[in-house]
Structure 1
Amino acid sequence: MSANTAPILRIEALAEIPANLRGCVVAIGNFDGVHRGHQAVLQEALDEAANHSVPAVLLTFEPHPRTVFKPEAPVFRLTPAPLKARLAAAMGFSAVIELPFTREFAQKTAETFVDEVLVEGLAIRHVVTGFNFHFGRQRQGSPEFLSAAGERRGFGVTVVEPYRDENAELVSSSRIRACLREGDVVQAAGLLGYHYTVEATVLKGKQLGRTLGFPTANMALPAEAGLRTGIYAVRFGREHGSHRDGVASFGYRPTVDNEGGPLLETYIFDFEGDLYDEPCSVAFISHLRDEVKFDGLDPLAEQMKRDAGEARAALQAIRPLSTLDQVVAFG
């Protein structure tokens, strides 16, 4: 696996596909999480592309289909489109095609999808997908359907079998979401192959942390984010790639105001500077404690000192889990 950090070409329409990508090997799926199971699919596509000396392209859909069909209950995204693109670039893909997913698009037959997207749009040499990927109206496009279509239309098909961890348990996005709901970011990292990471723009807050001696970079996560509230040891990343250790609070600030949605507030160790309006990332290393309401600001400040010390200790010996982790959490 490579560790490319250059920006990747992101395409939202078939008409935008450049000529040099036609004849590519394509990996198809939602790939939410880009976890170790997904990485097995993606690596198979990269290997196939290298064998044919053609580009490797990741084909995915935005927004997540479950959010389209159930807008009242949007899915907790593990890797929104920008982060997914960064991970694809780090693995060595030439481009990510983010096809707009709508109810109208969902009504296309599996045969139409093959014709319009894979054959006419991309002129694919080979397609790689996971064992449980389905496409087309009423999910009629199964892996078996895709294999038969490849035989008719002249492209190869590889279906990657389920990926299991060291305990023979299936690695899945739903399993990772369950870990994050419990605050078990260590197990989530083991399943992802890198530390769970969020990206957002730094907001200007009430600057209370500054008055307490702990200035924080504040970020709002999507309302559907399913991460357990609490205090975490983290790695904070800036847009240009540098990363620093820190301690972060994710939650509702019960001691201060307990108003509004959950906020991610990160105190970055040994840092001074203005981060307002800058897109940044936070990689979660360990969960230190749950969110607690204190009897005033003084005991809150004392606990923040203890949290910072515990986070420094937790982060002292931390090392990248993989080349992807090097990109998202260490830079």
Structure 2
Amino acid sequence: MYTSLTLPCSIIAIGAFDGVHQGHQAVIQQAVQKSKELHVPSVIYTFDPPPRVFFQGVQMITTIAEKLSMLEKLGVDHVVVTRFDLAYANKSAHDFIQTLANLNPMEIIVGEDFRFGQGRKGDLVMLKKYFNVDMMQPVCCSKGNTVSSTRIRQLIAEGDTRLSNLLLGWPIRE
């Protein structure tokens, strides 16, 4: 785990990855697979706490230790964990782009709703001006609903551990 990292090249997946659910796993597996194809390191760039936990006070699905354990099991080479606090939230989108530039990404993989920088001003259009970006489509369950951390939090709150475990793709702590 790193709080900062410099690499000659990499494939990066960026996200809060709270829960490391099936949708997150698809993004992460894409990064790992692409990094192996290109013989470069895979990097997960994530946040502690996740931005929604910081801004909205929602329940965190996984601790940072659990998240790191899951990422290791998925075969990730490096994990950059950025402390998400008020100072970080006030950094500009350009500051974030400069941080990513230190990793020399050959490709960045994100979900379709990815935003970054102060006030979420950075978006995929801006990111694509600087990097090769692969936007992953949402992963849906067998009933066609999108797998999301919000949905999993709701299921956990309702006591539906069977379905929340199914959407996570691994058992949560009871």
Same fold per superposition (TM over 0.5):
yes
Q: 1:88 is matched by which residue type in structure 2?
A: L
* 8 Å CA contact retained: 2:42, 2:77: yes
Alignment of 1:180-329 (within 5 A): 180-197=156-173, 284=174
Q: Which of 11, 15, 36 is the aligned partner of 2:2?
A: 11
Per the alignment, do residues 194 and 67 of structure 1 end up closer, same or farther by CA in structure 2, a change over 3 Å counting? closer
The 2-side partners of 1:30 and 1:64 are apart by: 5
Q: Displacement, 1:42?
A: 0.7
State the match for 1:131 in structure 2: 112
Q: 1:66 is matched by which residue type in structure 2?
A: R
Calculate percent identity across the aligned residue pairs: 33
Q: Which of 68, 73, 78 is the aligned partner of 1:95?
A: 78
Are 2:48 and 1:81 equivalent residues in the alignment?
no
Q: C-alpha offsets along residues 183-227 of structure 1, whole Å, 9 cap, x if unaligned? A: 111101110111113xxxxxxxxxxxxxxxxxxxxxxxxxxxxxx
* 8 Å CA contact retained: 1:28, 1:60: yes
State the match for 1:162 in structure 2: 138
* Structure 2 length-normalised TM: 0.93
Name stretches of at least 5 consecutive residues in structure 2 with no aligned partner: none
The 2-side partners of 1:110 and 1:161 are apart by: 23
Q: Which runs of 4+ in 1 moved over 6 A?
A: none
Aligned length: 174
Are 2:128 and 1:147 equivalent residues in the alignment?
yes
Q: 1:54 is matched by which residue type in structure 2?
A: V
The 1-side partners of 2:154 and 2:15 are apart by: 21
State the match for 1:176 in structure 2: 152
The 1-side partners of 2:62 and 2:8 are apart by: 27
The 2-side partners of 1:99 and 1:57 are apart by: 13
**What is the Cα-based RMSD across aligned positions, in Å?**
1.5
The structure whose residues are more often helix, as a share, is 2
Q: Displacement, 1:66?
A: 3.0
Q: Displacement, 1:69?
A: 3.2
State the match for 1:118 in structure 2: 100
The structure whose residues are more often strand, as a share, is 1
The 2-side partners of 1:44 and 1:24 are apart by: 13
**RCO higher in structure (CA 8 A, sep ≥6):** 2
